[in-house]
Amino acid sequence: EVHLLESGGGLVQPGGSLRLSCAASGFTFSSYAMTWLRQAPGKGLEWVSLISGSADSTYYGDSVRGRFTISRDNSKNTLFLQMNSLRAEDTAVYYCATVEIAAVAFADWGQGTLVTVSS
Amino acid sequence: EIVMTQSPATLSVSPGERATLSCRASQFFSSNLAWYQQKPGQAPRLLIHGASTRATGVPARFSGSGSGTDFTLTISSLQSEDFAVYYCQQYSHWPLTFGQGTKVEIK
C-alpha cells in the first residue's frame, strides 16, 4: 500500500524559508514522478511543482517559479520542497502526490502539512 | 496557461439521482484531463484520468467524457458518500491547472 507522509510545515514570517519533506513507502519510489500541490484555506487545488523519477526534469507553477525548488533523494525514498521568499499567499496545506505512469494525474496523496506565512 | 472553468459551482442533488458536472477549458486539447473528489478534511482522490478512464477502485457509477474544450463527469446514481467537492485538472500543457471545483450537496 502506498503511503506518503509530509512534514516540515509550520509558521514562518514573510520572506522566510521552509523545507517540506515527503516520506514515501509501499512502491518503487524512483520509478515514479512526484509532485507537490497546495490548497489555501477554504480554496481550491493548485499545482506547485513536479519532478521526474530520476530527478532530471523539474517543472514549476508560475506563482512559485524562482522561489521554490523541488528535489528528491531516491536512496531515502523522500521528496522535498525548498520554499524561499515566502509570502502570505503561500499559506496553504501542502500535499505530495505520486504521478500516474501514463498520465500526469495524481494517484496517491499524503494527508498534507500546513504552512502558514504570517508576521 | 489553460484556464479550467467548472459549472455549476454548487449542485444540489437527491440521493439516487444523476449528477452531471461540467468542466470547460480555455484552450483546445485532446483528452489529458483528470477528475478528483475531495471530502472535508481529506486529501483529494483521483477518480478519472484520460478524460474517461476510471482510476483503480473507482465505482462504475462514475464516468467521464469529452474532449477538446468540454468535459463532463457523471455520477449515475448518487450515494451518500458521493457528496463532496469535485475538481477537474488538465495535464495537456504546463503549468498544470485545476478548475475551481463543484460542490455536490444533498438536496
Q: Do B43 and A44 touch (CB under 8 A)?
A: no
Q: One digit per residue, pLDDT tens: chain B, 107 residues? A: 999 999 999 999 999 999 999 999 999 988 999 999 999 999 999 999 999 999 999 999 999 999 999 999 999 999 999 999 999 999 999 999 999 999 999 98
pLDDT tens-digit readout, A28-79:
999 999 999 999 999 999 999 999 999 999 999 999 999 999 999 999 999 9
pLDDT tens-digit readout, A93-109:
999 999 988 888 999 99
The rounded mean pLDDT for chain A is 97
Residues on chain A touching B56 (C-beta within 8 angstroms):
107
Alpha-carbon span A33 to B91, nearest angstrom: 14
Q: Select the residue of B46, B95, B99 nearest A106 (Cβ to Cβ).
A: B46
Please determine, for residue A85, whether its predicted confidence score (pLDDT) is greater than 90: yes
Q: DSSP labels for A39-103?
A: E-TTS-EEEEEEE-TTSS-EEE-TTTBTTEEEEEETTTTEEEEEE-S--GGG-EEEEEEEE-SSS
Neighbours of B41 (CB within 10 A): 7
Please determine, for residue A17, whether its predicted confidence score (pLDDT) is greater than 90: yes
Instruction: Name the one residue in this structure whose C-alpha cell is 452531471.
Output: B20
- Return the closest-CA partner of residue B64 out of B30, B104, B22, B95: B22
Of the candidate ranges A87-91, A99-103, A110-114, B89-93, the one whose mean pLDDT is the lowest: A99-103
What is residue A10's predicted lDDT score, i.e. its pLDDT? 97
pLDDT tens-digit readout, B11-37:
999 999 999 999 999 999 889 999 999
Q: Do A50 and B49 touch (CB under 8 A)?
A: no
Alpha-carbon span A67 to A16, nearest angstrom: 11
Angle, vertex CA A92, rays to CA A29 and CA A31, nearest 5: 10
Neighbours of B104 (CB within 10 A): 21
Q: Is A61 near chain B, with CB under 8 Å?
A: yes
What is residue A33's predicted lDDT score, i.e. its pLDDT? 97
Which positions ≥6 away from A100 have C-beta within 8 Å? Answer: A106, A107, B46, B49
